[in-house]
């Protein structure tokens, strides 16, 4: 699944650069992993348990919360009290018919009805059938919730009792006699469910056309919501073939994973409908199922194309050409992956559909990929280059899954990191193939790696791979959809690909996919095939792939490697942002890693060395008084680097006198490492600040973006204190040359820079210039915005600059500007434009407007549920809005948790975004109280809350130690040169 990633990821990221990088970073870490999966208990849910009686109905239990560190639950007494299915039954095929109602019933509910027949094999003799069912009202058939039939001449035993076990989301069927091993049976159910707006299972999405409300019935099954659409064996390893039939209105079209047969007319309840059946799917997991009923239209590939590619969206969006870019790039990216995997695309078609309401960035349903509109649609006249990059990378991410994840699927969710980390990594390769001038192979460093290192440097982080027994409940599964899984997973796989070479890596992938197609695996299966590829090459490794990689995936964190260029001593230790934090998670590897160390010395050739112990010596890293050394070239390794003070001084001198001699990524890395080492008290904070002094000569995007994010921490800690003024003065002094550079490059802002990353850096220049008061900047942005206000039908603001201009003008203005932007937000039919306006509305300095906007966040008629948490985070990124948002969320937590989904992926990002400024004892106590008050309903925010407590304590210590020297440094450095 693609992060909603604002994902944040870092990619939404570049398209929406907030002043001092606040919004971009937060969106990258929160939305990028968002899935709004409601746990609200609807009236249609029927539950019974044997403790009452098979016919008694009770209400569902609340979601089970998870603990921040793995705990193995006590063994339940009965099989239906366990969250994992027994291994006694194996599904073969499903026949599912669903009829979604696109108009509400007399009770005002949107519902769907259906029936399902699952054929399964009895693997082990048993008198119990457990099959997942959640929030479905099952029709009683001959006194029971299901009907069992034997196949192939086998007689099915009679049903003893059936009930719905709400806590574990099972339909329980107890039999009078055991099923026979080796025989096949069919279980039939008839059911009704709510077509709710909860963004999970079979749900509804809404949009308007000329004031008329339109309903779309669509799905999001991952990870555990197929059971909300029909009873099924809802685990990744329970693969089967699916025969889907949809009944839908005459003026709509039905889509599913496979190609449809010609629709037929059918009369239901006195009305005419269409019935569309689909060809059998390939053998696949339940979480990859998808079906959509809508009045959308499409554009498609040429008739003679080897794979039918169709881009589906609202009719107006297709008519405006918003799907053209996706269609143009899907074919080439598919071809790239066919070559990369040395494997043909497994299906005959690739449908991609843009949905008005969708929780994540996208979902890799096999043959029918679902997207947020912003992740698939691109309008050249309105959308920015960041929007375009987001579309390319998300499409690439999802298409990568068609093989890795869909054709071959990990056995259980504890290996989710392999599925999502891999797709995240190779999405940059696919996007690089589609857009070779974008420098995508380098941008992964900014978009994925830099951000996740901050998370993984906490003592409350977690390993990439968990034990199977520690991931049981839906909430525990949902918690895994985080930045560690996606971004660290991508980083360590990129590191592996680098040290065994990309060619060997892809050869290993090819044999892995061939060996396990249509099957399930564990991560060690991939290591074995990569090792086979290494053995057939000339690559020499100090240990096997598995032995090397186990240290990166089975223990959390990463090392800081310290290189002493005086004596050649190289050491490593577990890097923690807060050196006083206590690591209570044991590691069999004692937090040591096998580190592929690379470096260049005084501009010479790249060298490599394996650091295999806590300390080693290598004379090749020694330097004379005129030499300098920089390590971890292009940040290919997932580690930080520290140096002896003399080498740091030589590097600072080189940055000031000849920064182009150091590769661009490593200039960014020096800044990022220095600031993080300073937070960890390994170097002086003023040394980190000194890495920014050369920036008045820097024109490239990656160092500036890294510096902006690094200084953002200082703004978060000090924008409410006396440090803020001198800090603003210093940044103004540094950014002014960059602002002037882009003013000249764009012929006084009338042209767009040609280079992809220059376009990003132009946004940085204007954003920072306006926020720090560079002369002429605010007048420029407010002038552009005023022109738009005067003629609302004509927006001449450059798409790349829209968010920055909107934010700057709304911050400088009042209710008139805010209400105008709100009106434009409500009226736009272009999702990327709506996203920019939605984020910019949080930039106002008026507390009453921010409070009103917070209330809007919980009104789905104003802010879609998929956008609620990211909008609250945007408001919290505003120094004025942060305490308002924190108070609001605390007061409304019950409502937010129950109506917006305590198990959703976005809840962790919400807590992180709200607490990023916390740096006082008072705020720490507030967090503890929040934990105490809501301990029973934190859901997927449980780990994030522990991380927030740890981060707040670290912030308190850092501010106490650094405030005075930081103030003194900024005061000194902000003075004009004499």
Q: Which residues are annotated as catalytic? A: 398
Cis peptide before 18 (omega within 30 of 0): no
Residue 682 near residue 560, CB atoms below 8 Å: yes
Residue listed under structure tokens 């520690």: 470
Strand pairing report for 212-220 and 241-249: unpaired
Q: Which secondary-structure segment (H or E) carries 441?
A: helix 440-444
- Alpha carbon of residue 138 to chain centroid: 34
- The closest alpha carbon to 529, from 546, 508, 514, belongs to 508
- Alpha carbon of residue 374 to chain centroid: 14
Angle, alpha carbons 712-714-718 (nearest 5°)? 120
The pair of structure tokens assigned to 661 is: 């001699």
**Torsion sign over Cα 646, 651, 653, 658:** positive
Residue 369 near residue 352, CB atoms below 8 Å: yes
- The closest alpha carbon to 144, from 96, 176, 178, 112, belongs to 176
Angle, alpha carbons 843-849-855 (nearest 5°)? 105
| 3-class secondary-structure state, position 617 | strand
| 3-class secondary-structure state, position 21 | helix
The pair of structure tokens assigned to 93 is: 């095929």
- The closest alpha carbon to 907, from 898, 891, 383, belongs to 898
Residue 292 near residue 239, CB atoms below 8 Å: no
Alpha-carbon distance of 403 to 393, in angstroms, equals 17
Max Cα-Cα span within the chain: 97
Strand pairing report for 159-165 and 170-179: antiparallel
Query: What phi, psi does 774 have (nearest 5°)?
Result: -60, 135
| 3-class secondary-structure state, position 98 | strand
CA atoms within 13 Å, Cβ hemisphere of 444: 33
Alpha-carbon distance of 625 to 605, in angstroms, equals 19
Residue 156 near residue 148, CB atoms below 8 Å: yes
Alpha-carbon distance of 244 to 266, in angstroms, equals 16
Burial of 721 (C-beta count, 10 Å sphere; 0-12/13-18/19+): middle
Residue 437 near residue 756, CB atoms below 8 Å: yes
Alpha-carbon distance of 457 to 600, in angstroms, equals 26
Alpha-carbon distance of 298 to 317, in angstroms, equals 10
Burial of 692 (C-beta count, 10 Å sphere; 0-12/13-18/19+): buried
- The closest alpha carbon to 169, from 132, 222, 144, belongs to 132
Alpha-carbon distance of 487 to 210, in angstroms, equals 41
The DSSP symbol for 843 reads G
Long-range contact set of residues 954-958: C-beta below 8 Å, sequence gap at least 24? 954/577, 954/578, 954/580, 954/581, 954/679, 955/717, 955/918, 955/919, 956/919, 956/920, 956/921, 956/924, 957/578, 957/580, 958/679, 958/717, 958/919
Residue listed under structure tokens 């709710």: 196
Residue 906 near residue 874, CB atoms below 8 Å: no
The pair of structure tokens assigned to 278 is: 């689909």
Strand pairing report for 640-643 and 559-563: parallel
């Amino acid at each position: 699944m693609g992060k909603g990633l604002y994902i944040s990821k870092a990619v939404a990221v570049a398209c929406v650069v907030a002043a001092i990088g606040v919004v971009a970073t937060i969106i990258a870490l929160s939305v990028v992993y968002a899935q709004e999966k409601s746990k609200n208990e609807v009236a249609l849910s029927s539950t019974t348990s044997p403790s009452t009686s098979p016919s008694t109905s009770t209400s569902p239990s609340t979601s089970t919360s998870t603990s921040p560190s793995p705990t193995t639950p006590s063994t339940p007494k009965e099989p239906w009290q366990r969250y994992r299915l027994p291994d006694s039954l194996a599904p073969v095929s499903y026949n599912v018919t669903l009829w979604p109602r696109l108009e509400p019933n007399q009770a005002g509910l949107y519902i769907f009805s259906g029936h399902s027949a699952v054929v399964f094999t009895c693997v082990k003799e048993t008198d119990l059938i457990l099959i997942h069912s959640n929030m479905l009202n099952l029709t009683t058939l001959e006194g029971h919730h299901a009907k069992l039939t034997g196949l192939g001449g086998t007689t099915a035993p009679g049903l003893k009792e059936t009930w719905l076990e709400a806590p574990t989301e099972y339909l329980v069927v107890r039999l009078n006699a055991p099923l026979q091993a080796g025989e096949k049976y069919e279980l039939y159910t008839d059911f009704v469910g709510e077509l709710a707006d909860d963004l999970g299972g079979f749900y509804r999405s809404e949009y308007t056309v000329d004031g008329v409300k339109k309903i779309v019935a669509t799905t999001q099954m991952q990870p555990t919501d197929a059971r909300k659409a029909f009873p099924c064996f809802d685990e990744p390893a329970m693969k089967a073939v699916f025969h889907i039939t949809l009944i839908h209105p005459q003026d709509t079209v039905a889509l599913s994973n496979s190609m449809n047969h010609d629709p037929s007319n059918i009369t239901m309840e006195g009305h005419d409908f269409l019935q569309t059946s689909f060809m059998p799917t390939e053998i696949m997991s339940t979480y990859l199922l998808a079906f959509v009923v809508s009045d959308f239209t499409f554009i498609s590939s040429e008739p003679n194309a080897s794979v039918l590619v169709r881009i589906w969206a609202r009719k107006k969006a297709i008519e405006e050409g918003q799907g053209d870019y996706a269609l143009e790039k899907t074919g080439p990216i598919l071809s790239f992956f066919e070559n990369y995997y040395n494997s043909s695309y497994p299906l005959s078609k690739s449908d991609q559909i843009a949905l008005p309401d969708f929780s994540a960035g996208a979902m890799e349903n096999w043959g029918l990929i679902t997207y947020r509109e912003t992740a698939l649609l691109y309008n050249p006249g309105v959308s920015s280059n960041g929007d375009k990059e987001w579309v390319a990378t998300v499409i690439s991410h999802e298409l990568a899954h068609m093989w890795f994840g869909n054709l071959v699927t990990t056995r259980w969710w504890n290996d989710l990191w392999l599925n999502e980390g891999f797709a995240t990594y190779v999405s940059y390769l696919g996007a690089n193939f589609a857009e070779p001038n974008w420098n995508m192979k380098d941008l992964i460093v900014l978009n994925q790696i830099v951000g996740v290192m901050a998370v993984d440097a906490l003592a409350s982080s977690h390993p990439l791979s968990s034990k199977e027994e520690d991931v049981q409940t839906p909430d525990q599964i949902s918690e895994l959809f985080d930045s560690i899984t996606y971004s660290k997973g991508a980083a360590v796989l990129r590191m592996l690909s680098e040290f065994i070479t990309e060619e060997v890596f892809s050869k290993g992938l090819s044999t892995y996919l061939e060996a396990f197609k249509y099957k399930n695996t564990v991560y060690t299966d991939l290591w074995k095939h990569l090792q086979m590829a290494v053995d057939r090459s000339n690559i020499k490794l100090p240990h096997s792939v598995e032995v090397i990689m186990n240290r990166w995936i089975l223990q959390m964190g990463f090392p800081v490697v310290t290189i002493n260029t005086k004596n050649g001593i190289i050491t490593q230790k577990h890097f923690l942002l807060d050196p006083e934090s206590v690591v209570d998670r044991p590691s069999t590897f004692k937090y040591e890693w096998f580190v592929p160390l690379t470096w260049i010395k005084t501009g010479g050739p790249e060298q490599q060395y394996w650091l295999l112990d806590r300390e080693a010596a290598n004379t090749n890293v020694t330097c004379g008084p005129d030499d300098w050394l920089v390590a971890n070239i292009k940040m290919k390794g997932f580690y930080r680097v520290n140096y002896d003070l003399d080498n740091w001084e030589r590097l600072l001198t080189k940055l000031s006198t000849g920064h182009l001699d150091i590769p661009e990524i490593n200039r960014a890395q020096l800044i990022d490492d220095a600031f993080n080492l300073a937070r960890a008290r390994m170097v002086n904070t003023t040394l980190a600040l000194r890495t920014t002094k050369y920036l008045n000569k820097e024109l490239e995007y990656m160092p500036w973006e890294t510096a902006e994010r690094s200084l953002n921490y200082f703004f978060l800690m000090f924008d409410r204190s006396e440090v803020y003024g001198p800090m603003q003065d210093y940044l103004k002094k540094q950014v002014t040359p960059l602002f002037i550079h882009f003013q000249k490059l764009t012929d006084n802002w009338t042209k767009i820079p040609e280079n992809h990353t220059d376009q990003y850096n132009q946004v940085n220049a204007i954003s920072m210039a306006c926020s720090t008061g560079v002369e002429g900047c605010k007048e420029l942005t407010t002038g552009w915005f005023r022109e738009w206000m005067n003629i609302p039908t004509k927006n001449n603001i450059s798409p790349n600059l829209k968010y920055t201009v909107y934010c700057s003008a709304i911050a400088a203005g009042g209710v008139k500007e805010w209400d105008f932007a709100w009106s434009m937000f409500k009226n736009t039919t272009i999702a990327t434009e709506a996203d920019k306006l939605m984020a910019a509305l949080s930039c106002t300095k008026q507390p009453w407007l921010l409070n009103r906007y917070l209330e809007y966040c919980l009104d789905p008629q104003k802010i879609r549920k998929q956008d609620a948490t990211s909008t609250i985070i945007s408001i919290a990124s505003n120094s004025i809005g942060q305490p308002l948002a924190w108070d609001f969320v605390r007061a409304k937590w019950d409502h937010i948790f129950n109506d917006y989904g305590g198990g959703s992926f976005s809840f962790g990002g919400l807590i992180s975004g709200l607490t990023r400024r916390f740096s006082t004892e008072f705020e720490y106590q507030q967090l503890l109280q929040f934990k105490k008050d809501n301990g029973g309903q934190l859901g997927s925010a449980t780990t994030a809350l522990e991380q927030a407590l740890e981060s707040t304590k670290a912030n308190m210590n850092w501010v106490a130690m650094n405030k005075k020297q930081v103030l003194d440094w900024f005061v000194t450095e902000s003075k004009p040169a004499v």
